[in-house]
């Protein structure tokens, strides 16, 4: 039996294998709202330009609204034989109202239809994700305010480097997420161009009004080139790129939470909501939510690479390869949304072990740079000389198995005779973080100033 949607050229329907490889309805049915919105806009335009009658338009739009309700209420039977969401809805429309349904596809093709649906869908995804990013930023800013004076080790090479404040550390992720937020919004500008009316690839001879459909669907303007309109998937790749960078930021934080929650660090405790136990070791508290975020991010990276590979060898305009543009993207966007929600939940109820963090901040002679800076400032010593002197003092502290501030003034003067007791004012982790008042520095004063700035931004 031929598929009437393909017309009269095909005498036989696809066999089971062809149907299996060709059908996309299993995943593109999530386009139903966008597909129906596009069809309603198209029908309104066809009537406004006199291409179809007002009565036909009214029948079409009313029936499409009913079909949307049926799908939302799980009363719609999707058919694999009809391949995709477009054919499923068009077929159901024909069954519902007969002849007027056949007029809907005038001056359009599935090529511009799917491009329109996908842009509408990705635009909705962006709007969802930027809202979730803001929610995570709000959670981080709240915790940064609470932990403005909490001292922790700052790391380079995962080795203790200098003391920092936990509030400052959390605000670093707020900055990262701000870049993610703006990358998504920037991508949205290029998403928001309407392909509808480009038809199969060359436009149409009908007197359509593409400005009207673009406006009704909330697009900024119609695409200027019909060939590019139906063949472009840059908007998906760009959004996946923004998603990948955002996901990478989440993975970095998840990695830190995994490390910090180990007994060896003991910096944080994840609540029971985001931890699991062991089936054999009753003492275990596993940071599964953080580990799963860290792992799931790979799916987002994979979707971006896969999408780029699909497009890299395609001549203009549409090829069936482009059916592979959706499934990975859907999964990637779902994964990022879930990961943002989980991370926000963890940030909201995580417990920080402040004494352990401060203790760790003083390990490894983390205030050595403060000593070197003091030598430069107070004794007018060239920094490289101060670096050398500090190294000798660190070696002395190692030999005596004590911290720098536990050395006596006489011991320090045995290395550099001009050192005075005033040096102790800069040693110790609290003195260190309080001194880092340069713009962008870790001092509690700076953290509180940045918290106020972010609170104002995120409320705006």
Residues with active-site annotation:
157, 278
- Cβ neighbors of 219 (< 8 A, separation 6 or more) are 119, 192, 193, 194
Residue 99: CB atoms within 10 A of its CB come to 9
What SS3 class is residue 193?
A: strand
User: Which residue intervals of 99-109 are DSSP H helices?
Assistant: 99-103
In the chain, count H helices and then E strands: 19, 6
**How far is Cα 329 from Cα 327, in angstroms, rounded to an integer?**
5
Report whether 433 contacts 165 (CB < 8 A).
yes
**How far is Cα 130 from Cα 134, in angstroms, rounded to an integer?**
6
- Match 């790391």 to its residue by tokens: 155
Residue 314 DSSP label: P
What SS3 class is residue 160?
A: strand
Q: Which of 258, 120, 140, 115 has its CA nearest to residue 195?
A: 115
**How far is Cα 154 from Cα 311, in angstroms, rounded to an integer?**
43
**How far is Cα 460 from Cα 458, in angstroms, rounded to an integer?**
5
CA distances from 136 to 195, 235, 341, 355 (A): 34, 25, 8, 26
Residue 161 DSSP label: E
Pairing of strands 151-156, 351-352: unpaired
**How far is Cα 108 from Cα 307, in angstroms, rounded to an integer?**
25
- Cβ neighbors of 129 (< 8 A, separation 6 or more) are 184, 243, 246, 333, 336, 337, 340
Angle at 223 between CA 218 and CA 226, to 5 degrees: 140
Residue 66: CB atoms within 10 A of its CB come to 14
**CA neighbours closer than 13 Å in the CB half-sphere of residue 3:** 16
Report whether 196 contacts 109 (CB < 8 A).
no
With b for 16 or more beta-carbon neighbours within 10 A and e for fewer, the 278-301 pattern comes to: eeeeeeeeebebbeebbebbebbb
Report whether 188 contacts 126 (CB < 8 A).
yes
């Amino acid at each position: 039996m031929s598929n009437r949607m393909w017309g009269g050229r095909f005498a036989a329907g696809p066999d089971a294998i062809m149907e299996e490889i060709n059908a996309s309805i299993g995943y593109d049915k999530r386009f139903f709202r966008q597909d129906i919105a596009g069809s309603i806009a198209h029908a309104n335009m066809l009537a406004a330009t006199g291409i179809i009658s007002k009565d036909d338009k009214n029948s079409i739009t009313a029936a499409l609204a009913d079909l949307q309700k049926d799908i939302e209420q799980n009363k719609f039977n999707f058919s694999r034989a009809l391949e995709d969401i477009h054919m499923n809805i068009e077929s159901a429309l024909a069954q519902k109202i007969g002849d007027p349904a056949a007029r809907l596809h005038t001056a359009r093709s599935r090529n511009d239809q799917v491009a329109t649906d996908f842009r509408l869908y990705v635009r909705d995804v962006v709007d969802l994700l930027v809202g979730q990013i803001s929610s995570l930023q709000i959670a981080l800013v709240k915790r940064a305010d609470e932990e403005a004076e909490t001292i922790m080790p700052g790391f380079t090479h995962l080795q203790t480097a200098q003391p920092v404040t936990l509030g400052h550390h959390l605000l670093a992720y707020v900055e990262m997420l701000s870049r993610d937020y703006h990358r998504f919004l920037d991508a949205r500008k290029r998403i928001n161009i309407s392909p509808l009316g480009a038809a199969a690839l060359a436009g149409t001879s009908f007197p359509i009004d593409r400005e009207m459909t673009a406006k009704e669907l909330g697009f900024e303007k119609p695409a200027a080139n019909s060939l590019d309109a139906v063949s472009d998937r840059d908007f998906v790749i760009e959004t996946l790129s923004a998603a990948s960078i955002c996901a990478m930021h989440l993975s970095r934080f998840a990695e830190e939470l995994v490390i910090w929650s180990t007994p060896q660090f003991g910096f944080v405790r994840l609540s029971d909501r985001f931890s699991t136990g062991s089936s054999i070791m009753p003492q275990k508290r596993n940071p599964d939510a953080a580990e799963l975020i860290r792992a799931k991010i790979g799916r987002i990276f994979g979707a971006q690479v896969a999408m780029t590979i699909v497009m890299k060898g395609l001549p203009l305009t549409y090829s069936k390869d482009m059916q592979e543009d959706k499934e990975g993207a859907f999964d990637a966007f779902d994964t990022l949304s879930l990961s943002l929600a989980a991370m926000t939940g963890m940030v909201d109820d995580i417990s920080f072990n402040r004494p352990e963090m401060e203790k760790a901040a003083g390990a490894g002679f983390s205030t050595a740079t403060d000593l070197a800076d003091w030598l430069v400032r107070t004794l007018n010593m060239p920094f490289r000389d101060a670096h050398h002197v500090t190294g000798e003092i660190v070696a002395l502290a190692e030999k005596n198995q004590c911290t720098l501030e536990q050395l006596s003034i006489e011991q320090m003067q045995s290395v550099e005779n001009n050192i005075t007791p005033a040096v102790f004012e800069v040693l110790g982790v609290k003195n260190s973080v309080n001194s880092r008042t340069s713009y962008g520095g870790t001092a509690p004063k700076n953290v509180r100033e940045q918290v106020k700035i972010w609170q104002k931004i995120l409320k705006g």
